Amino acid sequence: MTEKRDLVGKVAVITGGGSGIGLGCARYLAEAGAQVVIIDVNEAAGEAACEGIGREVSFIRGDVSSSADCRRAVEEVAGRFGRIDILVNSAGVIRRKSVVDLEEEEWDLVLDVSLKGTYLMSKYAIPIMERNGGAIVNIGSGWGLKGGPQAAAYCAAKGGVVNLTRAMAIDHGPQKIRVNCVCPGDVDTPLLRSEVVQLGADEKEFLAEAADRPLARLGEPLDIAKAVYFLVSDLSPWVTGAIVVVDGGGLA
């Protein structure tokens, strides 16, 4: 993608950009020329991501479940660059438990990071984006479109992200802000591998089962990043309110 620099002059904010899908998006959008700002609660991961990408990337530590942190991060980006053109809401956590087994604080954590965090970052970024228009991509999940075992809070959160996307697209289309959702299948990330530990599963068997889909492999962060790029670039000027499944055919 080194020859493609069509996002030059754009400022992209990516939550959860210190690892996994968020990191993949940060790298790909930076390669396309965007000035990328990573928001992550993990300071070491965020700084390592900036060093690893090595171009047009900066880091702000922030907890997306905190209104004060989201407001501060958006204000810092706006103050530094004068604009926000792209927002990728990628921060998320998972707890593999049923509603019976979930502790209330675990439910709150999953909903606060994945769903409330998407709301808060959008709440503060959209007034800045309204100046020039822009694009928001919310990272959902296949489990936001169907149920999954022992993942009640995660399914609820991602289902909320999917329909929140549609509502935002309706509300903010008049301001020339497009809002779409990418729903990944199982992607080889630290979050996916954390599920192995939570479930006490055999890692080899777990990953083999996760890869059991028509395209016969796990996803990679780059697979998701390319879909996000499509949705934030000029390749999709009339696409908003869309739910794009990127899962190797798993839902099919």
- List the catalytic residues: 154
Q: 74, 2, 85, 81: which is closest to 39 by C-alpha?
A: 74
Supply the DSSP symbol for 93. Answer: -
Please state, in angstroms and rounded to a whole number, the distance separating the CA atoms of residues 24 and 90: 10
Phi-psi region of 117 (alpha: psi -120 to 50; beta: other; left: phi over 0): alpha
Answer whether 191's CB lies under 8 Å from 225's CB: no
Burial of 3 (0-12, 13-18, 19+ CB in 10 A): exposed
Please state, in angstroms and rounded to a whole number, the distance separating the CA atoms of residues 247 and 252: 9
Beta bridge mates, 136: 87, 179
- The count of C-alpha atoms lying within 13 angstroms of the C-alpha of 177, restricted to the half-sphere facing its C-beta, is 27
For the chain, helix (H) and strand (E) counts, in that order, are 9, 7
Q: 32, 22, 141, 121: which is closest to 76 by C-alpha?
A: 121
